[in-house]
Structure 1
Amino acid sequence: MGKRTTLTLEDDVVAQVRAEVHRTGKPFKRVVNEALRRGLDSSVKQEPSPFRVVPSDLGIRPGIDLDDVQGLIDRVEGTAHR
Structure 2
Amino acid sequence: MRTTLSLDPDIASQIERLRKERHLPLKKVINDALREGLAHLSEPKKAPQHFRTREADLGTCRLNNLDDISDALAEAEGAAFR
* Superposed structure 1 runs of 4+ greater than 2 Å apart: 45-48
Q: Deviations over 1:12-68 (max 9, x none)?
A: 0110000001100000111011001100001113376xxxxxxxxxxxxxxxxxxxx
CA gap of 1:44–1:26, structure 2 versus 1, over 3 A, is: same
Of all paired residues, the percent bearing the same amino acid is 35
Aligned to 1:10: 8
Kindly name which structure, 1 or 2, has the bigger radius of gyration based on alpha carbons: 1
- SS of the residue aligned with 2:42? coil
CA RMSD between the two structures: 1.8
Which residues of structure 2 form unaligned runs of 5+?
47-82
| Count of residue pairs the alignment pairs up | 47
